[in-house]
């Protein structure tokens, strides 16, 4: 399950980068990069138990958590502004839905990673 979710997050990160970050800021680009690194570590490093692997995984996991909160928060504000101004463009609706799905999938990957690391 963790591997499939990691591959799903890789797909979401690539799609988010290609669809919504044409002139993105540094935080969004570095956040999606950390999600890619964390997803690759989760997908590839099933049996890795070295201290360097754990340090890098926990650091990238913390950065991915911050990025997931950023995605959910920005999606919430886009939705709230669309409702306040009664302007529902296709771009804002797609960005809100995609940000929500991407944020929830990052949080789910973090939960499964923590569960796996506690069992080892």
User: What's the rounded Cα separation, in Å, for the pair 31 and 60?
Assistant: 9
Average pLDDT over all residues of the chain: 88
State pLDDT tens for residues 60-114.
999 999 999 999 998 899 899 888 888 888 888 888 999 999 999 999 999 999 9
Question: Where is pLDDT greater, at 63 or 2?
Answer: 63
Percentage above 90 pLDDT, the chain: 42
Please give the full DSSP string across the chain, using - where no structure is assigned: -HHHHHHHHHHHHHHHHHHH-TT--HHHHHHHHHHHHHHHHHHH-SS---HHHHHHHHHHHHHHHHHHHHHHHHHHHHHHHHHHHT---HHHHHHHHHHHHHHHHHHHHHHHHHHHHHH-
Q: How confident is the model at residue 18 (pLDDT cuts 50, 70, 90)?
A: confident
User: What's the rounded Cα separation, in Å, for the pair 15 and 34?
Assistant: 15
Return the pLDDT at 23.
66
Q: In the block, which residue shows the tokens 């939960």?
A: 111
């Amino acid at each position: 399950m963790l591997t499939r979710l990691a591959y799903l997050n890789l797909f979401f990160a690539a799609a988010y980068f290609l669809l919504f970050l044409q002139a993105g800021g540094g935080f969004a680009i570095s956040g999606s990069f950390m999600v890619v690194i964390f997803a690759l570590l989760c997908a590839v490093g099933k049996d890795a138990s070295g201290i360097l692997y754990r340090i890098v995984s926990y650091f990238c996991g913390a950065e991915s958590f911050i990025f997931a909160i950023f995605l959910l928060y920005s999606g919430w504000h886009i939705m709230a502004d669309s409702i306040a101004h009664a302007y529902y463009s296709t771009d804002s609706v797609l960005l809100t839905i995609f940000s929500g799905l991407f944020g929830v999938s990052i949080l789910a990957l973090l939960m499964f990673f923590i569960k796996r690391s506690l069992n080892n």
